[in-house]
Amino acid sequence: MTVLSSGIGPDNIDIVMNELDAVVNIDFQTRTVLPKLKSLNIIRLGTSGSLQDDIPVDSLVASAYGIGLDNVLHYYSLQNSTQEQDMLAAFIKHSGLTHSAIKPYIAQGSEKLLSYFQKGYHPGVTVTCPGFYAPQGRVVRASLQFPELVNTLGNFHFENHRITNFEMETSAIFGLGKIFGHQCLAINTIVANRIHKTFSKDGKKSVENMIQKSLEIIEKIGANDDSVL
């Protein structure tokens, strides 16, 4: 098992995912792709803000899909399933971004990995933002282009899916993982609930709880799967 810090944002994820893939699938002596490709299990453990009334601080979210408001995946050829296409179309219509400069994309996470994270985890759709302040509806001095962003995201539903949280990495991990053929999942501990405007009283403890609980599950995955974690 390898543990690394990715840094913040989809731009850093672009570097991490490409270089993780290169480590296992590129011959660095010949600079060629190896004849037999290896699929990694890649699990993000991070912090996030809840967009739902019933997902309080210090709870855990396991992402089924990632919707990106950044532009990293627009530089890659990402093939979406019909389900992904339909969900993305519904999201764009709901969010009012049809004629804006923001062009959302979508990618599904690993159903296999998600199946391990059931009890004690809220499943849902995670929105990935390209920044911390205005992209997540925060105001310091600058005015917002999309002042209703938080409410709009939290009100989105598609079939049995809803947007549970937002952060700055998941959609890029899922999208690049899909392109490279890796199994990817994102687990987030909720350190703020944007609906109630509440915050974790002990963020460090919340993160440690997520790590401990998730590592117990990851250990079981490793026992049942010979892929590199």
Instruction: State yes or no: pLDDT of 22 exceeds 80.
Output: yes
d(CA 44, CA 113): 12
- pLDDT tens, residue by residue, 176-221: 999 999 999 999 999 999 999 999 999 999 999 999 999 999 998 9
- What pLDDT, on the 0 to 100 scale, is given for residue 226? 54
CA-wise closest residue to 167 among 77, 93, 61: 61
pTM exceeds 0.85 for this model? yes
Q: Please name the residues in contact with 98: beta carbons below 8 A apart, sequence gap of 6 or more.
A: 92
- pLDDT tens, residue by residue, 39-71: 999 999 999 999 999 999 999 999 999 999 999
d(CA 105, CA 73): 7
- pLDDT tens, residue by residue, 103-162: 999 999 999 999 999 999 999 999 999 999 999 999 899 999 999 888 999 999 999 999
d(CA 84, CA 58): 29
Length of the chain: 229
Torsion sign over Cα 16, 17, 18, 20: positive
d(CA 69, CA 217): 30
Instruction: State yes or no: pLDDT of 175 exceeds 70.
Output: yes
104, 67 Cβ separation under 8 angstroms: yes
CA-wise closest residue to 163 among 46, 64, 59, 93: 64
- What pLDDT, on the 0 to 100 scale, is given for residue 223? 67
Segments of 4-118 assigned E as strands: 26-27, 32-33, 41-50, 60-68, 105-108
Complete domains list, the chain, with CATH: 10-224 (3.40.50.1580)
- What pLDDT, on the 0 to 100 scale, is given for residue 1? 85
